[in-house]
Amino acid sequence: MKESLTETCVPARAQPGVQRDGKLRHVVESQQFTVPLLMELFDRAAGMERVVARGGSLDFRNKIMATLFYAPSTRTRFSFEAAMHRLGGSVLSTEHAHSFSSAVEGEQLEDTIRIIGSYCDMIVLRPIEEGGAKRAAQVSPVPVINAGDGDGGQHPTQALLDLYTIFRERPLDGLRVAIIGELDRGRTARSLAYLLAKFDRVKLFFVSPPALRMRKDILDYLDEHGIDYEIEKGIDRVIGEADVVYLTRIRPDRLQGDSLKPYVIDSSVLRRMKPDALILHPLPRTVELDGSVDADPRALYFRQAKNGLFVRMALLTMLLE
Protein backbone atom coordinates (compact mmCIF):
# COMPACT_ATOMS: atom_id res chain seq x y z
CA MET A 1 0.00 0.00 0.00
CA LYS A 2 1.05 3.54 -0.67
CA GLU A 3 1.62 4.90 2.80
CA SER A 4 2.79 8.10 1.15
CA LEU A 5 -0.80 8.72 0.13
CA THR A 6 -1.85 9.47 3.69
CA GLU A 7 -1.29 13.11 2.84
CA THR A 8 -4.42 12.94 0.68
CA CYS A 9 -6.22 13.15 3.99
CA VAL A 10 -7.02 16.65 2.83
CA PRO A 11 -5.83 19.47 5.09
CA ALA A 12 -8.38 21.30 7.21
CA ARG A 13 -7.94 24.51 5.25
CA ALA A 14 -9.25 22.98 2.03
CA GLN A 15 -12.22 21.29 3.70
CA PRO A 16 -13.14 23.13 6.87
CA GLY A 17 -14.74 20.81 9.34
CA VAL A 18 -14.19 17.61 7.42
CA GLN A 19 -11.45 16.26 9.61
CA ARG A 20 -10.14 17.37 12.98
CA ASP A 21 -7.15 16.09 14.96
CA GLY A 22 -6.79 13.13 12.59
CA LYS A 23 -10.18 11.84 13.81
CA LEU A 24 -12.84 11.14 11.21
CA ARG A 25 -15.46 13.84 11.63
CA HIS A 26 -17.48 14.00 8.40
CA VAL A 27 -17.58 11.74 5.34
CA VAL A 28 -17.73 13.98 2.28
CA GLU A 29 -15.59 12.39 -0.43
CA SER A 30 -13.77 9.11 -0.73
CA GLN A 31 -10.27 10.56 -1.18
CA GLN A 32 -10.33 11.79 2.42
CA PHE A 33 -9.75 8.20 3.56
CA THR A 34 -6.13 7.20 4.08
CA VAL A 35 -5.05 3.61 3.78
CA PRO A 36 -4.72 3.16 7.56
CA LEU A 37 -8.20 4.62 8.02
CA LEU A 38 -9.55 2.22 5.39
CA MET A 39 -7.92 -0.72 7.14
CA GLU A 40 -9.40 0.35 10.47
CA LEU A 41 -12.82 0.66 8.85
CA PHE A 42 -12.57 -2.77 7.20
CA ASP A 43 -11.46 -4.35 10.44
CA ARG A 44 -14.46 -2.87 12.22
CA ALA A 45 -16.78 -3.93 9.37
CA ALA A 46 -15.65 -7.54 9.76
CA GLY A 47 -16.46 -7.22 13.46
CA MET A 48 -19.92 -5.91 12.59
CA GLU A 49 -20.68 -9.11 10.66
CA ARG A 50 -20.29 -10.90 13.98
CA VAL A 51 -22.38 -8.30 15.83
CA VAL A 52 -25.24 -8.77 13.34
CA ALA A 53 -24.96 -12.56 13.55
CA ARG A 54 -25.40 -12.23 17.32
CA GLY A 55 -28.54 -10.13 16.76
CA GLY A 56 -27.18 -6.57 16.96
CA SER A 57 -26.05 -4.41 19.86
CA LEU A 58 -27.51 -1.71 22.09
CA ASP A 59 -24.37 0.46 22.11
CA PHE A 60 -26.04 3.46 20.48
CA ARG A 61 -29.33 3.22 22.36
CA ASN A 62 -29.37 6.93 23.10
CA LYS A 63 -28.10 8.09 19.73
CA ILE A 64 -30.21 9.58 16.93
CA MET A 65 -29.28 9.57 13.24
CA ALA A 66 -31.19 11.72 10.72
CA THR A 67 -31.43 10.66 7.08
CA LEU A 68 -32.07 13.72 4.95
CA PHE A 69 -32.64 12.62 1.35
CA TYR A 70 -33.60 15.29 -1.17
CA ALA A 71 -33.56 12.59 -3.85
CA PRO A 72 -35.16 9.31 -2.81
CA SER A 73 -33.20 6.06 -2.60
CA THR A 74 -34.91 3.36 -0.59
CA ARG A 75 -31.95 1.00 -0.67
CA THR A 76 -29.25 3.42 0.40
CA ARG A 77 -31.48 4.95 3.04
CA PHE A 78 -32.51 1.55 4.43
CA SER A 79 -28.88 0.45 4.51
CA PHE A 80 -27.94 3.39 6.73
CA GLU A 81 -31.05 3.12 8.86
CA ALA A 82 -30.65 -0.64 9.35
CA ALA A 83 -27.04 0.00 10.39
CA MET A 84 -28.22 2.45 13.04
CA HIS A 85 -30.97 0.13 14.28
CA ARG A 86 -28.56 -2.84 14.46
CA LEU A 87 -26.45 -0.68 16.78
CA GLY A 88 -29.48 0.07 18.95
CA GLY A 89 -29.95 3.68 17.83
CA SER A 90 -32.94 5.68 16.60
CA VAL A 91 -33.61 7.28 13.25
CA LEU A 92 -35.29 10.46 11.96
CA SER A 93 -36.16 9.73 8.37
CA THR A 94 -37.09 11.53 5.17
CA GLU A 95 -38.08 9.59 2.11
CA HIS A 96 -38.12 12.63 -0.13
CA ALA A 97 -37.41 15.92 1.60
CA HIS A 98 -38.33 19.05 -0.33
CA SER A 99 -36.71 22.37 0.12
CA PHE A 100 -39.04 25.11 1.20
CA SER A 101 -38.28 27.08 -1.92
CA SER A 102 -35.85 26.28 -4.67
CA ALA A 103 -35.16 30.00 -5.15
CA VAL A 104 -33.49 30.22 -1.77
CA GLU A 105 -32.26 26.66 -1.59
CA GLY A 106 -28.66 27.76 -1.34
CA GLU A 107 -29.22 29.35 2.00
CA GLN A 108 -31.79 26.82 3.13
CA LEU A 109 -29.46 23.81 3.15
CA GLU A 110 -27.14 25.46 5.66
CA ASP A 111 -30.04 26.56 7.89
CA THR A 112 -31.63 23.12 7.71
CA ILE A 113 -28.39 21.39 8.68
CA ARG A 114 -27.80 23.76 11.60
CA ILE A 115 -31.30 23.10 12.92
CA ILE A 116 -31.48 19.35 12.35
CA GLY A 117 -27.97 19.05 13.72
CA SER A 118 -29.30 20.43 17.00
CA TYR A 119 -31.85 17.58 17.26
CA CYS A 120 -29.67 14.57 16.45
CA ASP A 121 -26.19 13.06 16.68
CA MET A 122 -25.45 12.53 12.98
CA ILE A 123 -26.86 13.49 9.57
CA VAL A 124 -26.84 11.27 6.48
CA LEU A 125 -27.41 13.64 3.57
CA ARG A 126 -28.33 13.15 -0.07
CA PRO A 127 -28.48 16.70 -1.44
CA ILE A 128 -29.63 17.61 -4.95
CA GLU A 129 -26.58 19.68 -5.78
CA GLU A 130 -23.00 18.58 -6.24
CA GLY A 131 -21.00 19.88 -3.31
CA GLY A 132 -24.01 19.95 -0.98
CA ALA A 133 -22.44 17.53 1.49
CA LYS A 134 -19.30 19.63 1.81
CA ARG A 135 -21.34 22.76 2.44
CA ALA A 136 -23.35 20.90 5.06
CA ALA A 137 -20.20 19.64 6.81
CA GLN A 138 -18.92 23.19 7.07
CA VAL A 139 -21.82 24.31 9.28
CA SER A 140 -23.03 21.13 10.96
CA PRO A 141 -22.70 20.72 14.73
CA VAL A 142 -22.73 16.91 14.23
CA PRO A 143 -21.06 14.52 11.75
CA VAL A 144 -22.38 14.61 8.18
CA ILE A 145 -22.17 11.64 5.80
CA ASN A 146 -22.49 12.23 2.07
CA ALA A 147 -25.00 9.66 0.78
CA GLY A 148 -24.56 10.79 -2.83
CA ASP A 149 -24.43 14.41 -3.95
CA GLY A 150 -25.60 15.36 -7.42
CA ASP A 151 -25.15 13.30 -10.57
CA GLY A 152 -21.49 14.11 -10.91
CA GLY A 153 -20.58 14.32 -7.25
CA GLN A 154 -19.57 11.44 -5.05
CA HIS A 155 -21.06 8.55 -3.10
CA PRO A 156 -18.17 7.70 -0.80
CA THR A 157 -19.87 5.08 1.39
CA GLN A 158 -20.80 3.12 -1.74
CA ALA A 159 -17.13 3.13 -2.75
CA LEU A 160 -16.15 2.04 0.75
CA LEU A 161 -18.44 -0.97 0.62
CA ASP A 162 -17.32 -1.74 -2.94
CA LEU A 163 -13.72 -1.75 -1.82
CA TYR A 164 -14.52 -3.80 1.28
CA THR A 165 -16.19 -6.41 -0.93
CA ILE A 166 -13.03 -6.68 -3.06
CA PHE A 167 -10.78 -6.60 0.01
CA ARG A 168 -12.60 -9.60 1.51
CA GLU A 169 -11.66 -11.61 -1.60
CA ARG A 170 -8.11 -10.58 -2.49
CA PRO A 171 -5.22 -8.12 -1.95
CA LEU A 172 -5.91 -4.61 -3.21
CA ASP A 173 -2.37 -3.88 -4.41
CA GLY A 174 -1.81 -4.82 -8.05
CA LEU A 175 -5.51 -5.06 -8.88
CA ARG A 176 -6.78 -4.62 -12.48
CA VAL A 177 -10.26 -3.09 -12.41
CA ALA A 178 -12.64 -2.46 -15.32
CA ILE A 179 -15.19 0.26 -14.51
CA ILE A 180 -18.01 0.17 -17.04
CA GLY A 181 -21.07 2.31 -17.80
CA GLU A 182 -22.23 5.95 -17.72
CA LEU A 183 -18.98 7.19 -16.25
CA ASP A 184 -19.56 10.92 -16.75
CA ARG A 185 -22.39 10.93 -14.20
CA GLY A 186 -21.43 7.86 -12.23
CA ARG A 187 -20.75 9.12 -8.75
CA THR A 188 -20.12 5.59 -7.48
CA ALA A 189 -17.54 5.02 -10.24
CA ARG A 190 -15.94 8.34 -9.42
CA SER A 191 -15.72 7.62 -5.70
CA LEU A 192 -14.31 4.14 -6.32
CA ALA A 193 -11.61 5.47 -8.66
CA TYR A 194 -10.40 7.84 -5.94
CA LEU A 195 -10.22 4.99 -3.44
CA LEU A 196 -8.43 2.54 -5.71
CA ALA A 197 -5.83 5.21 -6.38
CA LYS A 198 -4.66 4.75 -2.79
CA PHE A 199 -3.17 1.33 -3.56
CA ASP A 200 0.01 0.19 -5.32
CA ARG A 201 0.24 -0.99 -8.92
CA VAL A 202 -3.51 -0.67 -9.49
CA LYS A 203 -4.60 -0.47 -13.14
CA LEU A 204 -7.97 0.98 -14.09
CA PHE A 205 -9.90 0.54 -17.35
CA PHE A 206 -12.67 3.08 -17.90
CA VAL A 207 -15.12 1.55 -20.36
CA SER A 208 -17.87 3.76 -21.79
CA PRO A 209 -19.06 5.39 -25.00
CA PRO A 210 -16.94 8.49 -25.71
CA ALA A 211 -19.87 10.78 -24.87
CA LEU A 212 -20.26 9.29 -21.40
CA ARG A 213 -16.62 8.97 -20.47
CA MET A 214 -14.98 9.60 -17.08
CA ARG A 215 -14.59 13.31 -16.40
CA LYS A 216 -11.32 15.15 -16.45
CA ASP A 217 -11.11 15.86 -12.70
CA ILE A 218 -10.72 12.14 -11.95
CA LEU A 219 -8.23 11.55 -14.77
CA ASP A 220 -6.16 14.50 -13.58
CA TYR A 221 -6.17 13.12 -10.05
CA LEU A 222 -4.98 9.73 -11.32
CA ASP A 223 -2.26 11.35 -13.41
CA GLU A 224 -1.06 13.36 -10.43
CA HIS A 225 -0.90 10.25 -8.29
CA GLY A 226 0.81 8.16 -10.96
CA ILE A 227 -2.05 5.67 -11.40
CA ASP A 228 -2.07 3.62 -14.60
CA TYR A 229 -5.37 3.79 -16.50
CA GLU A 230 -6.78 3.24 -19.99
CA ILE A 231 -9.89 4.60 -21.70
CA GLU A 232 -11.82 1.96 -23.64
CA LYS A 233 -14.90 2.13 -25.88
CA GLY A 234 -16.04 -1.42 -25.15
CA ILE A 235 -15.39 -4.35 -22.87
CA ASP A 236 -13.82 -6.62 -25.53
CA ARG A 237 -10.16 -5.76 -25.03
CA VAL A 238 -10.25 -5.75 -21.22
CA ILE A 239 -12.83 -8.30 -20.13
CA GLY A 240 -10.30 -11.15 -20.22
CA GLU A 241 -7.73 -9.50 -18.01
CA ALA A 242 -9.81 -7.66 -15.41
CA ASP A 243 -9.65 -8.95 -11.83
CA VAL A 244 -12.70 -6.88 -11.00
CA VAL A 245 -15.53 -6.08 -13.42
CA TYR A 246 -17.33 -3.10 -11.91
CA LEU A 247 -20.52 -2.44 -13.83
CA THR A 248 -22.67 0.63 -13.27
CA ARG A 249 -26.20 1.39 -14.31
CA ILE A 250 -26.94 2.65 -17.82
CA ARG A 251 -30.12 4.70 -18.03
CA PRO A 252 -32.23 3.71 -21.04
CA ASP A 253 -32.50 7.33 -22.19
CA ARG A 254 -28.72 7.57 -22.53
CA LEU A 255 -27.87 4.44 -24.50
CA GLN A 256 -30.11 2.04 -26.42
CA GLY A 257 -30.19 -0.81 -28.87
CA ASP A 258 -26.98 -1.84 -30.59
CA SER A 259 -24.91 0.91 -29.02
CA LEU A 260 -25.60 -0.72 -25.64
CA LYS A 261 -24.11 -4.08 -26.60
CA PRO A 262 -20.42 -3.34 -25.89
CA TYR A 263 -21.31 -2.65 -22.24
CA VAL A 264 -23.64 -5.51 -21.36
CA ILE A 265 -22.56 -8.45 -19.22
CA ASP A 266 -24.52 -11.62 -19.89
CA SER A 267 -23.77 -15.33 -19.90
CA SER A 268 -21.89 -15.10 -23.21
CA VAL A 269 -19.49 -12.58 -21.68
CA LEU A 270 -19.01 -14.69 -18.55
CA ARG A 271 -17.06 -17.26 -20.58
CA ARG A 272 -14.47 -14.65 -21.53
CA MET A 273 -13.80 -13.46 -17.96
CA LYS A 274 -11.03 -14.72 -15.69
CA PRO A 275 -12.18 -17.75 -13.72
CA ASP A 276 -11.61 -15.85 -10.47
CA ALA A 277 -12.85 -12.43 -11.60
CA LEU A 278 -15.18 -10.51 -9.27
CA ILE A 279 -18.34 -9.00 -10.76
CA LEU A 280 -19.64 -6.00 -8.84
CA HIS A 281 -22.54 -3.63 -9.44
CA PRO A 282 -23.84 -0.96 -7.04
CA LEU A 283 -27.42 -1.74 -8.12
CA PRO A 284 -30.11 -1.01 -9.12
CA ARG A 285 -29.40 -2.37 -12.57
CA THR A 286 -31.26 -1.76 -15.79
CA VAL A 287 -30.21 -3.69 -18.89
CA GLU A 288 -26.43 -3.74 -18.55
CA LEU A 289 -26.38 -6.75 -16.22
CA ASP A 290 -28.36 -9.76 -17.31
CA GLY A 291 -30.22 -11.91 -14.79
CA SER A 292 -28.40 -14.97 -16.15
CA VAL A 293 -25.24 -13.74 -14.43
CA ASP A 294 -26.79 -13.94 -10.95
CA ALA A 295 -26.09 -17.66 -10.48
CA ASP A 296 -22.40 -17.37 -11.42
CA PRO A 297 -20.11 -17.70 -8.38
CA ARG A 298 -18.18 -14.65 -9.56
CA ALA A 299 -21.30 -12.48 -9.20
CA LEU A 300 -20.80 -10.66 -5.90
CA TYR A 301 -23.33 -7.85 -6.14
CA PHE A 302 -25.86 -9.13 -3.63
CA ARG A 303 -23.04 -9.85 -1.20
CA GLN A 304 -21.79 -6.34 -1.98
CA ALA A 305 -25.18 -4.86 -1.07
CA LYS A 306 -25.19 -6.79 2.19
CA ASN A 307 -21.66 -5.55 2.97
CA GLY A 308 -23.13 -2.06 2.87
CA LEU A 309 -24.77 -2.82 6.20
CA PHE A 310 -21.50 -3.84 7.86
CA VAL A 311 -19.42 -1.03 6.40
CA ARG A 312 -21.99 1.58 7.36
CA MET A 313 -22.27 0.17 10.89
CA ALA A 314 -18.48 0.40 11.15
CA LEU A 315 -18.51 3.96 9.85
CA LEU A 316 -21.18 5.02 12.34
CA THR A 317 -19.10 3.68 15.21
CA MET A 318 -16.07 5.61 13.99
CA LEU A 319 -18.07 8.84 13.77
CA LEU A 320 -20.07 8.52 16.99
CA GLU A 321 -17.52 7.13 19.42
**Residue numbers 205-244 binding a second copy by CB under 8 A:** none
Q: What x/- string results for residues 284 through 313 when contact with a second copy is judged by CB under 8 A?
A: xxxx---x----------x--xx--x----
CA 186, 163, 193: angle at the middle one, nearest 5? 40
> Candidates 33-41, 109-117, 197-205, 264-272 — which segment interacts with a second copy by CB under 8 A?
109-117
Alpha-carbon gap, residue 140 to 125, rounded angstroms:
11
Alpha-carbon gap, residue 38 to 31, rounded angstroms:
11
62: contact with a second copy by CB under 8 A: yes
Alpha-carbon gap, residue 32 to 24, rounded angstroms:
9
Least Cα distance to 105 among 129, 89, 123 occurs for 129
Q: Which residue blocks in the chain are alpha helix, DSSP H? A: 35-53, 74-86, 105-116, 132-139, 156-167, 187-196, 216-224, 267-270, 301-320
Least Cα distance to 79 among 317, 299, 312, 236 occurs for 312
When the beta carbons of 268 and 292 are compared against a second copy, the nearer one is: 292
61: contact with a second copy by CB under 8 A: yes
**Residue numbers 20-59 binding a second copy by CB under 8 A:** 55-56, 58
Pairing of the two strands 203-207 and 228-232: parallel
**Residue numbers 79-108 binding a second copy by CB under 8 A:** 79, 81-82, 85-86, 90, 92-98, 100-101, 103-104, 107-108
Closest approach, Cβ 85 to a second copy, in A, equals: 4
66: contact with a second copy by CB under 8 A: yes
Alpha-carbon gap, residue 69 to 9, rounded angstroms:
27
Least Cα distance to 89 among 126, 123, 114, 64 occurs for 64
4: contact with a second copy by CB under 8 A: no
114: contact with a second copy by CB under 8 A: yes
Closest approach, Cβ 210 to a second copy, in A, equals: 25
**SS3 label, residue 271:** coil
When the beta carbons of 150 and 175 are compared against a second copy, the nearer one is: 150
Q: Which residues bind a second copy (CB under 8 A)?
A: 55-56, 58, 61-62, 64, 66, 68, 72, 74-75, 78-79, 81-82, 85-86, 90, 92-98, 100-101, 103-104, 107-108, 111-112, 114-116, 118-120, 251-252, 283-287, 291, 302, 305-306, 309
